């Protein structure tokens, strides 16, 4: 999805209604689907983001209010709104640090233990009042009736139009991956834990020793927390920060079957999304990565 068209003056006008004097605003590194700016209002530092949809920002606010604490640092949401052209915006408190993806390689081993601590905090987070499984909405209600239903949704949920995706990817290569996923799901437990859904690289901030913030909860789910570790393992050959984290976790006993299942689910999601978006290079990488996991490397 392309980033929204943003009129920075309209954004400034919107946040000016909150009160305070805006003394500085500058663009910063943003996400794949959003723009971001660093803003100073009455001496306090914020991040101002813009996206096509408000739902992800509302989830950020929900997760912050429910789960933020010393063990799980989540930036506070100051305000959320929608511009006249329908573009959503979110003003959140700026936390110090850089993303794991931007951290120098030499510094990565120093932060892996802190990342593990944050993952344990997510796994232990209480889910009182939340329901369902899989991606949840801004009220904490998941879309699926079971974790297994979410895992297999990439194959059988009408939400995924594989006929359309098949115009850009050879389904004869996708079907064996889908079949392997369905076979491995049976061994996965019905756990109800907080899952970030896109953890380990540009959504984790650090000062080089501690994790200072976990951001962008738009893909957050209810399910097995091992899914976040699987995300790290899936992307290990793509990003140095994922490789170093994977090496750290490999020193501990792991349920390799579950990790393999979740990596395949993550990979199929990436294959589908890149096929729909027409991102040919990313599609080729994701497909080859899945085939490598299945032992079908070409």
Q: Mean pLDDT across the chain, nearest whole number?
A: 93
Across the range 159-187, mean pLDDT stands at: 96
Query: What is the rounded CA–CA span in Å between residue 127 and residue 116?
Result: 20
Q: Of 60, 61, 198, 224, which is the active-site residue?
A: 198
Percentage with pLDDT > 90 across the chain = 81
pLDDT tens-digit map of 95-141: 999 999 999 999 999 999 999 999 999 999 999 999 999 999 999 99
pLDDT score of 51 more than 60: yes
Q: CB-based contacts of 175: which residues, under 8 Å, 6+ apart?
A: none
**Is residue 198 annotated as part of the catalytic site, yes or no?**
yes
Query: What is the rounded CA–CA span in Å between residue 18 and residue 11?
Result: 12
Strand order in the sheet with 22-28: 22-28, 35-41, 44-51, 88-93, 77-82
88 beta partners: 51, 82
Element holding 119 (H helix, E strand): helix 112-124
Query: What is the rounded CA–CA span in Å between residue 198 and residue 134?
Result: 13
pLDDT band of residue 216 (cuts 50, 70, 90) is: very high
Q: What is the pTM of this model?
A: 0.93
Residue with tokens 């050959």, as numbered in its chain: 237
pLDDT score of 147 more than 70: yes
pLDDT value, residue 132: 98
Per-residue tokens: 221:
């789910």
pLDDT score of 4 more than 70: no
């Amino acid at each position: 999805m392309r980033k929204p068209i943003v009129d920075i003056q309209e954004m400034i006008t919107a946040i000016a209604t909150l009160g305070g004097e805006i003394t500085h605003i500058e663009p910063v590194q943003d996400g794949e689907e959003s723009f971001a700016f660093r803003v100073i209002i009455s001496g306090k530092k914020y991040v101002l983001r813009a996206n096509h949809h408000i739902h992800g920002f509302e989830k950020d606010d929900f997760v912050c209010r429910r789960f933020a604490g010393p063990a799980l640092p989540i930036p506070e949401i100051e305000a959320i709104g929608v511009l006249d052209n329908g573009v959503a915006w979110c003003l959140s408190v700026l936390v110090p640090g850089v993303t794991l993806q931007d951290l120098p390689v030499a510094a990565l081993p120093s932060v892996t233990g802190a990342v593990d601590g944050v993952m344990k905090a997510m796994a232990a987070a209480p889910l009182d009042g939340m329901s369902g499984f899989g991606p949840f909405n801004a009220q904490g209600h998941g879309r699926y009736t079971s974790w297994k239903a979410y895992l297999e949704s990439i194959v059988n949920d009408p939400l995924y139009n594989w006929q359309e995706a098949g115009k850009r990817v050879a389904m004869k290569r996708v079907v064996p991956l889908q079949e392997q996923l369905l076979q491995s799901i049976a061994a996965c437990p019905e756990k109800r834990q907080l899952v970030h859904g896109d953890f380990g690289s540009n959504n984790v901030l650090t000062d080089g020793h501690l994790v200072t913030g976990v951001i962008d909860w738009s893909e957050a789910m209810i399910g097995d927390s091992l899914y976040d570790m699987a995300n790290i393992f899936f992307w290990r050959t793509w990003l140095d920060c994922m490789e170093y984290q994977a090496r750290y976790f490999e020193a501990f006993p792991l349920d390799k079957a579950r990790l393999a299942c979740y990596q395949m689910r993550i990979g199929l999601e990436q294959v589908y999304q890149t096929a729909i978006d027409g991102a040919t290079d990313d599609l080729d990488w994701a497909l080859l990565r899945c085939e490598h996991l299945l032992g079908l490397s070409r």
